[in-house]
Amino acid sequence: PSEIFQLWAECREAKCGLLWEAEEAAELTAWELEQLPPSLFLHLPWTEIQARPGFWEPFASRLALWGLATPQQAENLGLTPAILIVDGI
């Protein structure tokens, strides 16, 4: 992550984010996420959001969900993520 923070510090307009695998994402705490610059996107597997939608709801405007087969998979999450990354479309 240090390279991402350096890039973001040099160019605040850059669209940067951090990517987590499912196991890593499941261990994240609200405190850890709140320590990150608010303009950074949080790239997470949609299965993690599905497992803890209430936890992720405050961060919805920063979420970039990956691993979806169709956009419809995100419809019942109870939140509206900023970005959906859909495989095969």
And the tokens for 30? 């609200």
Q: So what's the pLDDT on residue 55?
A: 95
Q: So what's the pLDDT on residue 5?
A: 67
Q: How many C-beta atoms lie closer than 10 Å to residue 7's C-beta?
A: 11
And the tokens for 68? 């979806």
Q: 24, 32 in Cβ contact below 8 A?
A: no
Q: 83, 62 in Cβ contact below 8 A?
A: no
Q: So what's the pLDDT on residue 8?
A: 65
pLDDT, tens digit, 9 for 90 and up, residues 22-41: 999 999 999 999 988 888 89
CA distance 12 to 24: 26
Point out the residues of the chain with pLDDT beneath 70. Answer: 1, 4-5, 8, 12, 89
CA distance 65 to 46: 5
